[in-house]
């Protein structure tokens, strides 16, 4: 951690990885050979609100209040400590998405290109893990091995390096 970052207050950013029992989820897990089919990010210290993309577009999820019927056991939380300045950049990005949520849509084609290992960037279209990776990378919270559009949800666990702290892994975190 840099000397400047050490002087700042530390905040927690949480990534939630889950698996659902839908056909699309089973396809994602099978093709990626990974247990997780969905990723979301929270900057709320209580982990009440998570932000992500699904077939409805940009969404705010509340996994502690309502567990979807299709969610399977075995979710995992990745907690990272970041300086307040990095946290502020992440919050600013999320606030922008919230304010302009009608502009954004889920990218089915993006998922297909990710599966084929073809980097891409579509205006205002994301899939869940691409969104999480891009938000964290733009804020400087993580170092990525590859383009944001090439991350499946489970790959956020082992192919993304936290810049400011070790990743804390919590199984069945939510």
- Cα–chain center distance at 63: 14
Cα–Cα distance for residue pair 6/90, rounded to 1 Å: 18
Question: Scanning the structure block, which residue is given the tokens 């990723």?
Answer: 39
- 124 or 159, which is more confident: 124
DSSP 140: T
Average pLDDT estimate for 132-144: 96
pLDDT at 146: 95
Cα–Cα distance for residue pair 146/135, rounded to 1 Å: 14
79-126 per-position pLDDT tens digit: 999 999 999 999 999 999 999 999 999 999 999 999 899 999 999 999
Residue 99 neighbours by CB distance under 10 Å? 9
53-74 per-position pLDDT tens digit: 998 999 999 887 766 554 555 6
* β-strand partners of 162: 142
CB 64 within 8 A of CB 48: yes
Residue ranges of the alpha helices (H) in the chain? 3-7, 23-32, 84-99, 108-115, 128-139, 155-158
Specify the pTM.
0.87
3-state secondary structure of 116: coil
Average pLDDT estimate for 124-146: 96
Cα–Cα distance for residue pair 18/72, rounded to 1 Å: 8
Q: Within 13 Å, how many C-alpha atoms sit on residue 168's CB side?
A: 11
């Amino acid at each position: 951690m840099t000397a400047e970052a050490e002087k700042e207050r530390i905040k927690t950013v949480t990534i939630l990885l889950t698996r659902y029992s839908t056909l699309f989820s089973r396809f994602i897990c099978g093709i990626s050979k990974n247990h997780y089919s969905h990723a979301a990010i929270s900057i709320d210290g209580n982990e009440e609100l998570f932000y992500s993309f699904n077939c409805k577009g940009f969404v705010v999820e509340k996994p502690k209040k309502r567990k979807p019927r299709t969610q399977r056991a075995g979710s995992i939380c990745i907690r990272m400590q970041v300086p307040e300045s990095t946290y502020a950049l992440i919050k600013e990005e999320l606030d922008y998405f919230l304010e302009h949520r009608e502009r954004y849509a889920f990218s089915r084609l993006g998922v297909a290109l990710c599966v084929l290992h073809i980097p891409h960037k579509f205006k205002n279209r994301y899939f869940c893990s691409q969104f999480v990776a891009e938000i964290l990378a733009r804020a400087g919270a993580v170092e990525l091995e590859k383009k944001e559009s090439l991350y499946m949800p489970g790959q956020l666990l082992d192919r993304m390096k936290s810049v400011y702290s070790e990743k804390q892994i919590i199984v069945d975190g939510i």
